[in-house]
Amino acid sequence: MDRVQWQRVGEAMKQMMLSNRTRELMIFTFFLLVSTGFWYIQTLDETYEVEVKFPLKLMNVPKGVIITSDLPPSLRVVLRDKGSTLVRYYRFNAPPTLFVDFSQRHNDALTGSDEITMSEAQKMVARHLQPSTSIVSIHADSLDYFYNRGVKRRLPVRFSGNVKTSRQYYLTDFLCHPDCVTVWAPQQVLDTMTAAYTEPLDITGLTHQEKHTLSLAPIRGAKFEPSEVQFIANVDLYTEKTLEVPIIGINFPADRDLRTFPARVSLTFKVGTRMYKQINEKDFVLAVTYEELLSNSGNGHFRPHLRSIPDGVSQIRFTPEEVEYLIEQVEEAD
């Protein structure tokens, strides 16, 4: 853009600034800003109540002392004063931290607790307020904490919740890492604890491996290390398998022998795909005792039953459900 063009732009802007509409707009804006300023000043001169969060922190904790349940991170304090004073707490400056000095409040007890009274909390807050500011109320989840000097125990971790697989799937195993945690707590609390339980978790329709990091359910006065554990749920798909298993007799005298018709029974069962090839007829014991047959009133028939079933097998069906039998005399060799 050359010099002539710049001059033309300048003349156009000058004419626009000197127009009646522009002057009216500038006058309106000026009075709007003035009225807004007066309104703001008048507003700040009125009395209000606001809630301010004051950070709360425990200080001077000796080495070897474990805080098992800490103070809340902040106090919610409702203050009353003129707006011009409250805006300092609420907008412009971060509220100061309230410190509780551990070393000034405790002896050498192995475990214990301490509670900050409401009057103590009010005094801590009042130190940081203007003389004209009044405290309306103080709110906190709790104003106590627990400490421990080495009173601890190892406890197993227990899952809290429900795990359900989708149809045709089953839960093969449910692993926890770590399976034990250390808990620091007063002796009277430790004496009532048998395990560390997780926060509740419900899983439905499981079709594949899932991993979940779960927090341990908090207990007031107790601290868990670690405070989180990982649970791994492994699943497998059911399939059917059929095996021919022989029937054996148990407790038969030396001169007696059992013959069944048929000699083998077909077992059809459900098993996971991972174990399908591992399961064979030797893993099952299909038997009947001599005493059972002597007391049998089945007219030469009986229902065989399994004496041994491998892990991971379910929903077993027999074919046939009943078999015929004979008890034969065995001739002893000379």
CATH classification at residue 176:
2.170.120.40
Is 299 domain-assigned?
A: yes
Q: Which of these three, 147, 170, 195, is where a domain ends? A: 147
Do 54 and 137 lie in one domain? The reply is yes
Examine the domain organization and report whether 55 and 139 are in the same domain. yes
Type of residue at 268: T
128 and 170 share a domain? no
Q: What distance in Å separates the CA atoms of residue 178 and residue 213, rounded to the nearest whole number?
A: 11
Listed as own residue / partner, the contacts of 319-323 with beta carbons closer than 8 Å and 24 or more positions apart are: 319/265, 319/266, 319/267, 319/268, 320/262, 320/265, 322/298, 323/247, 323/260, 323/261, 323/262, 323/265
* Helices and strands, number each (H, E), in the chain: 6, 23
pTM of the model: 0.63
Query: Is residue 275, in this structure, part of any structural domain at all?
Result: yes
| 33 occurs within a structural domain | no
State residue 300's pLDDT score. Answer: 83
Burial of 15 by CB count in 10 Å (0-12 exposed, 13-18 middle, 19+ buried)? exposed
Residue 250 sits in the same domain as residue 167: no
Q: What pLDDT score was predicted for residue 330? A: 79
128 backbone dihedrals φ, ψ, rounded to 5°: -105, 10
Tally of domains in the chain: 3
What pLDDT does residue 10 have?
Answer: 57
Instruction: Compute the distance between CA of residue 32 and CA of residue 27 in angstroms, rounded to an integer.
Output: 9
Instruction: Return the CATH number at 86.
Output: 2.170.120
Q: Residue 184, exposed/middle/buried by CB under 10 A (0-12, 13-18, 19+)?
A: buried
pLDDT of residue 45: 59
Cβ atoms within 10 Å, residue 315: 10
Which residues have CB under 8 Å from 238's CB, separation 6+? 168, 169, 170, 270, 271, 272
- Domain residues for the domain of 261 are 238-329
Domain boundary among the residues 236, 259, 292 is at 236
Distance separating alpha carbons of residues 281 and 97, to the nearest angstrom: 73
Ranges of beta strands (E only) in 97-133 are: 98-101, 111-115
If one counts every other C-beta atom within 10 angstroms of the C-beta of residue 203, the result is 15
* CA atoms lying within 13 Å on the CB side of residue 8: 5
Q: Is 21 helix (H, G, I), strand (E, B) or coil?
A: helix
User: What pLDDT is attached to residue 141?
Assistant: 77
Residues 250 and 225 in one domain: no
Give residue 140's pLDDT. Answer: 83
End-to-end CA distance of the chain: 132
Q: Do 227 and 216 contact (CB within 8 A), yes or no?
A: yes
Are 228 and 157 contained in the same domain? yes
For residues 175 and 282, what is the distance between their CA atoms, to the nearest angstrom?
A: 30
Indicate the residue among 123, 147, 171 that finishes a domain: 147
Query: Can you tell me whether residue 42 is helix, strand or coil?
Result: helix
Contact present, 228 and 216 (Cβ < 8 Å): yes
Q: What is the mean pLDDT of each run of 10 residues along the chain (334 residues)?
A: 58 57 59 53 66 90 89 90 74 78 81 88 89 88 87 94 89 90 92 94 90 94 94 91 92 88 92 90 90 80 87 89 86 60
